[in-house]
Structure 1
Amino acid sequence: MRTNPERRQTLLDAAIEVLAEQGARGLTFRAVDKQAGVPAGTASNYFTNRDELLTQAGSRFYEVVQPSEETMAQVTDGPKTVENITALMKEVVGRIESHRTAYLALLELRLEATRRPELRAVLTERVRADIDFNVRNHLESGQPGDAESVLLLYLALNWLILEHLTLPGIFTEEQSMTLIETAVARVICG
């Protein structure tokens, strides 16, 4: 197997594009090679099989949508207020929505995981680690709210993102911002 990290990343980014555009059934080595603009057979030199490609594409999503250092500082060092949490939640929604194809690819991977136990195990582990990190980080930062608050916001905002990216006419931008504000106020303040 090849180990050029830049080429591997290019292939995984191409796999994400293919997943978002064509779904899991369209994800082939040939489609990834074409999307990445590399010679035919390149992807098969980097991934032993399609399952490995699917699994690594799922991991790549989390690399793509990582929060910036500024955002992390806003959590740990920012004001311990509902307004700060609201601003952070708006940032999360905006960040995820700015990576539309990556999120749509993750949705495809989640559906595919219902049929592929290895992929399900990898995604379950990764999502669980992400949730645990967010809960731990929130509690350690001293922001208002508890672990259940973080979980409720995670669930509510994920569905809002899903609506925005799959059926963008459901909520206007203004409605979405109001829904985020309301969700934070109700979850944190009760």
Structure 2
Amino acid sequence: MPAATRERAIEAAVELLGAQGVRALSHARVDARAGLPPGSSSNWFRTRRALLGGIVDWIAEKERADFDPAAMPVITHLDELIEGLCAMVELQSGPYAARTRARYALFVELAGDAELGEPLRRQRREFERWTERIVTAVGITDPVPATRAVMALADGLLLHRLTVDPDLEVRPTIERAIRALARS
């Protein structure tokens, strides 16, 4: 089976997971969603656990590529941080919404699975370190708790947009929170 088929299967699995949750995930449903012959996804991922592992790895890889700190503009001012956070929330809850929903579903599903959940947790730690460097660069004092607050704010806004109000205007909340952190 060519790599393109594997990629189609993983993309379909992420879409399925993001749209219908972990319980809907099966090889048969992935094959159907990807338009592949029955049994195709199980050629790459023999078990459901292997399929979950493939999804975790794919999500981490895509997010590293989409939000690669080396490819991002250097942020040194509060307004740039606000703009960047707004853009990230818009992307994660807009064009990347299925992937974001899938990631959250996997965080919950794999909370007790140290092995399968580690790539997601490692990715999270990388984004926390990146965010901490930005928080420090823009002059927010006490960067560790400030970073935790920024990450929690982004997660909360993402979850709200993905579940309750997809049209929520995020800028006022982000701007207020970031400016409050800068004053503290």
The normalised TM-score by structure 1 is 0.82
Instruction: Show the counterpart of 2:116.
Output: 119
The amino acid across from 1:152 in the alignment is A
Say if 2:184 is the partner of 1:184: no
**Alignment check: 8 A CA contact 1:59 1:126 kept:** no
1:1-190 counterparts in 2 under 5 A? 4-65=2-63, 66-67=66-67, 72-73=72-73, 76=74, 78=75, 80-98=76-94, 99-136=96-133, 138=134, 142-145=137-140, 146-168=143-165, 172-173=168-169, 176-190=170-184
C-alpha distance in structure 1 between counterparts of 2:132 and 2:46, whole Å: 35
Amino acid at match of 1:67: F
Is there any run of 5+ residues in structure 2 with no aligned partner, and where? none
Letter in 1 for 2:173: L
Distance across 1 between alignment mates of 2:54 and 2:40: 16
Amino acid at match of 1:39: P
- Aligned-pair CA distance for 1:71: 6.6
Unmatched runs of 5 consecutive residues or more in structure 1: none
Residue 5 of structure 1: CA displacement? 3.3
Stretch of structure 1 that moved more, 147-156 or 44-53: 147-156
Name the CA shift for 1:71/1:126 in 2 (closer, same or farther; >3 Å): closer
- Matched position secondary structure for 1:168: coil
Residue type of the alignment partner of 1:32: V
Computed over aligned residues only, the root mean square deviation of the Cα atoms, in angstroms, reads 2.4
Instruction: Tell me the distance in 2 between the aligned counterparts of 1:166 and 1:130.
Output: 23
> CA separation in 1, counterparts of 2:112 and 2:10?
21
The verdict on how the C-alpha distance between 1:82 and 1:134 changes in structure 2, with shifts beyond 3 A counting, is closer
The verdict on how the C-alpha distance between 1:55 and 1:133 changes in structure 2, with shifts beyond 3 A counting, is: farther
When residues 181 and 110 of structure 1 are mapped into structure 2, their CA distance, relative to the original with a 3 A threshold, is: same
Contact 2:27 2:48 in 1 (8 A): yes
State whether residues 113 and 119 of structure 1, in contact with CA within 8 Å, keep that contact through their aligned partners in structure 2.
Answer: yes
Residues 19-44 of structure 1 deviation map (CA, whole Å, 9 limit, x = unaligned): 12221111111111111111111101
1:129 offset after TM fit, Å?
2.8
Deviations 1:62-101 (A, max 9, x none): 344423789712xx2x5x2211111111111111112111
Q: Deviations over 1:153-179 (max 9, x none)?
A: 01111111101111117x732xx2210
